[in-house]
Every structure is written in C-alpha cells, then in structure tokens.
Amino acid sequence: MRFKIISLMLLFFISQQRLNGQNNNIYVEFLGLGLLGSVNHEIMLVPDKAYIRASLGYLKYTEKDTFDIDYGTDNFISEQTLTITPISLGANYLIGNKLKIEMGGGTTYWMTSYEGESTSIGFIDNENIEFKASGNYFNFYSTIGLRYQSPKGGINFRVGLSPIYLNIEGIKETLNLPYLSLGVLF
C-alpha cells in the first residue's frame, strides 16, 4: 500500500513538470511535517507566489526497559518500536521579494506501526508476550514561516512553525512542530 501511494505521487509530480515546465523546489526539512525530517518537492503554480507541495517523512522510535519487581525474583524486559511514515500534500503562498512570508496548509496521511515484546524472567518460568498494531490516519496541518529564496532560483532556506491537527482514534490534539529546511529552486 505504501509503495502504491508513493509511486502515484511521483508519477503525478513528474507529469505536472512536463506539462508546463514549472519551477521546482526540492528541499530537506528537519522536524516539521515529517516529524523527524522529510524530503519535499514543490511545483510553482503562480510565479514567486504559490506552490503545491508533497513531502515524505519518517520517524522510528524504539524504547527498551528493564525493571525489577518483587525484589529480585521477577524481572521484566520490554521493547517497543513506533514507526510513523507521514505523506503530506498541500499548498504554500508566499509574500515578499527575496525574504518571503510563507503561509500554507494541507493534509498529512500517517501510516503507523507499533510493535513490541515483553518478557518476564521469573524464578521458575519465562513468559513472552508480543504485540503488533498499525493504523492509517488523515490529519491536517498549517504552515507559517519565513523563506529566503531568490526569484532567479538557486539555494533557499526556510524556518517556521507547522501545527499538525491530529485526529487519531478520537484524540484531537495540536502538535506544534518547528521546521528548518534547506533546498534548491530550479
């Protein structure tokens, strides 16, 4: 499923590039919509004003715990891994000449996986429990920030804030993530 979604996104953006010969902006982003980091592609719709955006991020967090219960007779070892692959689609609007105010928004699709194992090492026997869960979630985001970008192209730099409006199994929260990115406009 992930491969199909990524392949469709790439085909869409390649076909858009050949239609009008738009300017492209490719950049890497630290934090932001990709949670830990992301690779982004923008296609200019209105010269130096409006872009459509697609990004692919990745986050993998593993935690391992060992704790003692019953003063040395029972030990528990637990390992859990959370993986989130966010795919985002949206639009950005820019105001300014070289130093621009950037505003935007869109949707981000999270493919999640949560796996773990817990082992009880007791006096007589060992028990092992494994668990696995996954889910896919649509969330919305907005973006506000500053972008340095020459109208002639070349290196660009972005900094700002991307609030992600989470809607995961009844949990409605806002995750405010700063972002810092470096890219090239061609």
Q: How far apart are CA 135 and CA 85, in angstroms?
A: 11
The first and second tokens of residue 133, run together, are 């869960």
Q: pTM to 2 decimals?
A: 0.75
Q: Spell out, as residue ranges, where the chain has pLDDT lower than 50.
A: 18-21, 123
Distance of CA 95 to the CA centre of its chain: 25
Give the 3-state secondary structure of residue 36.
coil
Specify the pLDDT at position 18.
44
What confidence score (pLDDT) does residue 165 get?
Answer: 94
Q: What is the DSSP secondary structure assignment for residue 150, as one 8-state letter?
A: -
Q: Which of 45, 32, 25 is nearest to 179 (CA)?
A: 32
Q: What's the pLDDT at 154?
A: 85
Q: What is the pLDDT of residue 47?
A: 83
Q: How far apart are CA 169 and CA 171, in angstroms?
A: 6
Return d(Cα 126, Cα 129) in angstroms, integer: 10
Q: What is the pLDDT of residue 5?
A: 65
Chain centroid to Cα 100, Å, comes to: 23
